[in-house]
Each structure stands twice: as structure tokens, then as C-alpha cells.
Amino acid sequence: MILVEHLTHIYAPGTPLALTSLEDVSLRIEEGEFVVLAGATGSGKTTLVQHFNGLLLPTAGRVLVDGRDTRDKRVRRDLWRTVGLLFQNPEQQLFEENVFAEVAFGCRNLGLDEGTIEIRVRRALEMVGLEPVRFGTLSPFALSRGQQRRVALAGVLAYRPRVLVLDEPTSGLDPAAREQIWQMLKGMQQHGHTVVVITHHMEDAARYADRVVVLHRGKIYRQGTPRQVFGDPEGLRAVGLDVPMPGELMYRLRQRGLPVNTGILTLDEAEAELKKLAPSGKACPVM
């Protein structure tokens, strides 16, 4: 689906501000996969995903989407239909006068008729937890930041690109909305979409990703299933990341000599694991 080969990216090459933000990155994202990109601040996540829809071009190496090279102008022109990108800052993405027009922008460019657009916009707004009637006519700039992020996300969802590339879609969202967005993305995957998400929430990454890719200083540091990647707390801490809280809890209980399984990623797993320790037959000890 997306194939990155020996990608190097240098910002402002040949000037005193030149900065190598990606170095020899190779990555393959399969059709229908749910990939989470993690990495410390400034590790190059945003730079990497902006290559996926041709906003940035490789300084060296190449990026293929559906087997077509993004350096080709004609390929790039239609890339947006396949790869929808959510920018890291909602302000980077919003420009229309009202929320409806903002969300409809992509659909308009697809050439859909007004009726379909209206349905899709409404659906997209509901998917991100905004009531279409209440928010449709407001200016995106008169919203709270979390609401802006949701509008930006709806703008990508509405025109239904096959690949969703989302740069921190849940940062600044309240816990309920965060949960809702992740669930919704998982649902999109089940409907055949490919999903690439950047996030700093390790617990969410562990719960939803098929594969976690960790960047460190412009290079791929680790990749694998959440269980593989989060199985190495020291390695992750060394690059500014962390393991999910439940994993950490088990790890510490283990250190205290309790016979718990440390390969735990989610709260539900932790709950089940702990309950195993107290067979239901035994009476509860009283403190």
C-alpha cells in the first residue's frame, strides 16, 4: 500500500538551517493495516507522514503509494483521493468560514452532488462527536481547540479516502472523545481502510495498533506488534517513550516478587490477571 524506501529528508538543504529530519527510513504499510507511529518530540513523525500524501518529497530515496512514485507530479495530483492527511495542528488545516464548508471541502473536490455531500458531512461530524445542527454554521475559529481538532478530523473522514494518515488525532481531546475516536478508527479499519496514526498515548497505541513503529532521531528504532515493542521498557524509556500503565504495574509487582505475567498491555488484561491471583473460592482478606 505505502512503501517507503531509504527515505532521507533534509529541511532547507544547502542553507545554514539545513536539518536532517529523516535518515534512511524504510517502511512498508500493508493494505488494511492499523499502524501507530510513536517517537519522542522532534523524532520526525510528522515529517514522515507528510511524505505519504506528497506534501513533502524525499531528499533521497522514494515513497510509493499503490506502487506509484510520489515524485511524479501526476501521481501527486490525485494522491489526496487515496491518502487523507490530518495535520498535527487543527489551525494548519482549517480555513473555511464555517464548519459545514470546512468538512465539505474534500467532498466538493470529489465532485459529489449537494445531497450526498450533506449526508457525508453530517455523518462525519457525528463520527467525531459534534452535533451537526449545533456546529455546522459556526466558524471553525470560534471553537475550543478540542472541537477544532474534531472538525479537522471530520474534514478528512467526510471524503472517505482509502488510507487515513492522522497526525495526533486525539491530543487535546477529553477521555471520552479519545476513546470514541479510537473505536471509530478501528471500525474504519474493519471496513477496509488503512489507518496510520501518530500518538503519544502508549495505552491507546497498545490497545488498537496492529503494528507499532517507533522513530528515534529520524530513524526507525523499533517496530512490531504492540506486545513486541512494549515488551522492552528500558529500550523505550531510552528514547523518551514509556510502556502503558498496566504493563508498568505488572512489571513493578513482579519486581516485588509477585507471580504476575508482565506481558500485559491493557487495563482489562491487568484486571483479569490480578483476579487470577485471587481464586474466587477464597474469602477476601480483610485489611
Closest CA to 39 of 27, 30, 31: 27
**One of 30, 31, 126, 174 touching another protein (CB under 8 A):** 174
Q: Check residue 95 for interaction with another protein (CB under 8 A).
A: yes
Closest CA to 46 of 167, 149, 144: 167
Tell which positions 176-235 bind another protein, by CB under 8 A.
176-178, 200, 202-203
Residue 63 is inside which H or E element, if any? strand 60-65
Residue 36 is inside which H or E element, if any? strand 34-39
Amino acid at 164: L
Q: Distance from CA of residue 94 to its chain's centroid?
A: 19
Residues in contact with Mg ion, counted by CB under 5 A, come to a total of: 4
DSSP category for residue 16: T
Q: Check residue 115 for interaction with another protein (CB under 8 A).
A: no
Vertex 129 angle, CA 127 and 132, to 5°: 85
Integer angstrom CA distances of residue 160 from 87, 112, 179, 267? 16, 12, 21, 32
Q: Based on CB atoms, which residue is closest to ligand ATP, 172 or 233?
A: 172
Query: What's the CA gap between 141 and 147, in Å, rounded?
Result: 10
Tell which positions 123-162 bind ligand ATP, by CB under 6 A.
142-147
Q: Check residue 15 for interaction with ligand ATP (CB under 6 A).
A: no
Sign of CA dihedral 111, 114, 116, 120: positive
**One of 48, 65, 156, 163 touching another protein (CB under 8 A):** 156
Query: What's the CA gap between 213 and 224, in Å, rounded?
Result: 7
**Residue 274 contact partner, candidates ligand ATP, Mg ion, another protein, none, CB within 5 to 8 A by sort of partner:** another protein
Q: Based on CB atoms, which residue is closest to another protein, 190 or 238?
A: 238
Q: Check residue 278 for interaction with ligand ATP (CB under 6 A).
A: no
- Smallest gap from Cβ 213 to another protein, in A, equals 14
Q: Based on CB atoms, which residue is closest to ligand ATP, 20 or 189?
A: 20
Residues in contact with ligand ATP, counted by CB under 6 A, come to a total of: 19
Helix, strand, coil in percent for the chain, rounding step 5: 45, 20, 35
Q: Which residue is nearest to ligand ATP (CB)?
A: 146
- Smallest gap from Cβ 92 to ligand ATP, in A, equals 12
Closest CA to 50 of 58, 42, 40, 60: 58
Q: Based on CB atoms, which residue is closest to ligand ATP, 47 or 194?
A: 47
**Residue 110 contact partner, candidates Mg ion, ligand ATP, another protein, none, CB within 5 to 8 A by sort of partner:** another protein
**One of 21, 43, 46, 93 touching Mg ion (CB under 5 A):** 46
Tell which positions 39-58 bind ligand ATP, by CB under 6 A.
39, 41-47
User: The C-alpha cell of 64 is what?
Assistant: 510509493
**Residue 128 contact partner, candidates ligand ATP, Mg ion, another protein, none, CB within 5 to 8 A by sort of partner:** none
Binding site for Mg ion (CB under 5 A): 46, 88, 144-145
Binding site for ligand ATP (CB under 6 A): 11-12, 19, 21, 39, 41-47, 88, 142-147
